[in-house]
Amino acid sequence: MTCTSARTAPSQMQSPKLESADKSANRIQTLLAFGCLIGTACGEWPGSTIPSIRAEGVGLATRTQEVDTTRFTSGFRQRGEGGVFVKLTGEPTSSARMALSASGLMPPRGRDHLVSFDSLKIRTVWGRLTARQVQAIANLPFVLRVESSEDEVGIDVHGNSIQAINASASEITWNLERIRAPEMWTDFEATGERQTGQSTWQSVGIALLDKGGDYRQTYNASGWEFVSANPASPANYTGDGVAAYLGVHGTWVAGFLAAEPNNSMVAGVAPRAAIKVYKVLPETGTADWGYIVDALDQAWTDGVGVINMSFGNCGDEPPSAVEEAIEQFATRVPADAAYPGVGVTLVAAAGNGTQSSLGCSTTAVAYPGAYADVIAVAAVNDEDEHSSGLSVGPEVEITAPGICVDGLAVGGGVDSCISGTSFAAPHVSAVIAAVRARHPAWSATTIRSLLQQTAEKISGQGLPRDNTFGFGMVNGYAMLQALSTPPPFTFYITGPTVVGPNNYSCSSWSAVASGGSSPYSFTWSGLFTGNEITVSGTVPQSGGDLEVYVIDSAGAHGIGSIHITYDPNNQDYCE
């Protein structure tokens, strides 16, 4: 939106004159009184230039482009305040956070401090602003983008209870039979048994981002863990302040992932899988993408292999920080399996379209499911029928049972005939976790390809895929059987390709291998030598090549290399 005033608008001015950090910080409040209120006319600016804190004073580079302030939701404009993501030129330093605070950035709701995503390393700070403070933040020379962290319409779970009654049920329900889960269980490791040593297998771990869960665990759920950002509320990343929320929807989804049968409850697809529950949607009030990115940052740290997201919006594009966070998982190596393969798999509900609780006006596939790095899952009933109004589109990748399925009730028992794409997604997440438990060295890319190749075609489905069913029905047993031959042996080098004065002597580089037969051996040459998976050292100003020779236990081998350059203007720091 363009602002106009009697004087030159800020966007039309020349590059701001830099002055001392102290002097600039003292003038911020003066600046705010004349700031541009988004959605209204601009006030007059004092003088012909906008004061600015020096970028070098906070340890970050000065931007070389215009600040992007184009994405502010209608809700932010109407209220004159809201949650924001602030993108910086580098990873946030303590001085940068202080400068942001001095310029008006406040902690997001439910937090007592500004939030930076240190594991994901997306150079972003999450906080809260009033509209009059946006320009002050955008004026900081190390800020690249300021955007609403809220959604234009809203974010909610994609499931509802058509009929919720507690009753006894057989553990083996139609949805498990449909994806051939019981046949998959004949392979012991495919149940997701936790690893007890390098000779046994383990679930790579599933992160469940949802609306809480039954923290009492009064049923068999030995592998469940609740991750908390708020000690007063289990697994709560939101600002709702609810300390005893039982999480009906999250309990349903967790049950489809990993419930253990005991003759009175349904079984999950991977009943021995380890899951971590993160509450990212509040019980009441406005959801915020910041809660979700914060939990993703923790999931990265926790080293899970699969992330299930049974929620979404109405298909409008979220803030850029969300996609930047999701993209980081392509090269994350799960931390809780022996010789794990490369990449974390992200799975999401395709969306309930016009049946959504958000009142969506279209059947567009919801985000985060619409992202290219996320597997979007559609839902069908026991006759493979798709319900009119559910989300459809080219982003739909796979189908699973999700219409009139029996879910695990809070406190135990069964909630009968619940429906939504929310419940289709965990069927796929659990199959992937089980397969990766059986073959932990195989990459997320390989697993995704097999998911598509082994999907069972559905009557009426377009070939090879269509906008309603994607590639077809997930088939856990066929996926497991297809894994009789190891995928191609691949590897690559991680680490900076450009270093500067702050990190030329303290950086490290690692060889990440997948496929083939583990364990692997490594031989480094060039700038550094060694036989471990990681090397480190001082990069000369002339730069140079770094090469690694990798061989697996079966004799498959290969050579990879990167060129590392020294740039005196590079402002990155060592991790």
Cα separation of 135 and 558, whole Å?
Answer: 52
- Cβ 249 vs Cβ 257: under 8 Å: no
| Pairing of β 81-88 and β 143-148 | antiparallel
How much is the average pLDDT of 373-379? 97
What are the DSSP E strand ranges found in 287-428?
306-309, 311-312, 345-349, 374-380, 396-401, 405-408, 414-419
How much is the average pLDDT of 487-516? 81
What number of H helices and E strands is found in the chain?
12, 23
Whichever domain contains 428, its CATH number is 3.40.50.200
User: Last residue of a domain, which of 104, 128, 148?
Assistant: 148
User: Last residue of a domain, which of 416, 450, 482?
Assistant: 482
The answer as to whether 369 is a domain residue is: yes
Mean pLDDT, all residues of the chain: 79
Domain co-membership, 143 together with 168: no
How many independent structural domains does the chain possess?
A: 3
Q: Which structural domain, as residue segments, surrounds residue 14?
A: 10-148
Domain co-membership, 352 together with 393: yes
Cα separation of 353 and 392, whole Å?
Answer: 8
Cα separation of 486 and 339, whole Å?
Answer: 14
Q: How many other β-carbons are positioned within 10 Å of the β-carbon of residue 429?
A: 33
* pLDDT of amino acid 9: 35
The answer as to whether 1 is a domain residue is: no
| Nearest alpha carbon to residue 188 among 522, 505, 438 | 438
| Long-range residue pairs from 516-519, CB within 8 A, at least 24 positions apart, any chain | 516/441, 516/486, 516/488, 516/489, 516/552, 516/553, 516/554, 516/556, 517/441, 517/486, 517/552, 517/553, 517/554, 517/556, 518/338, 518/339, 518/441, 518/552, 518/553, 519/339, 519/552, 519/553
Count the helix, strand and coil residues of the chain and give each as a percent rounded to the nearest 5.
20, 20, 55
User: Last residue of a domain, which of 117, 148, 179?
Assistant: 148
The answer, yes or no, to whether the previous bond of 368 is cis (omega within 30 of 0) is yes
Domain co-membership, 360 together with 334: yes
* pLDDT of amino acid 245: 52
Domain co-membership, 476 together with 541: no
Domain co-membership, 179 together with 97: no
Residue of higher predicted confidence among 169 and 174: 174
The answer, yes or no, to whether the previous bond of 519 is cis (omega within 30 of 0) is yes
Question: Which of 48-52, 279-283, 368-372, 556-560: highest mean pLDDT?
Answer: 368-372
How much is the average pLDDT of 508-525? 81
Least confident of 146-155, 217-226, 375-384: 217-226
Least confident of 119-128, 320-329, 448-457, 489-498: 489-498
Confidence class of residue 67 from pLDDT cuts 50, 70 and 90?
very high
Confidence class of residue 150 from pLDDT cuts 50, 70 and 90?
very high
Residue of higher predicted confidence among 472 and 225: 472
Is 491 strand, coil or helix?
Answer: strand
What is the distance of C-alpha 172 from the center of its chain?
31
Whichever domain contains 501, its CATH number is 2.60.40
pTM for the model: 0.75
Cα separation of 284 and 146, whole Å?
Answer: 26
For the chain, the residue count is: 575
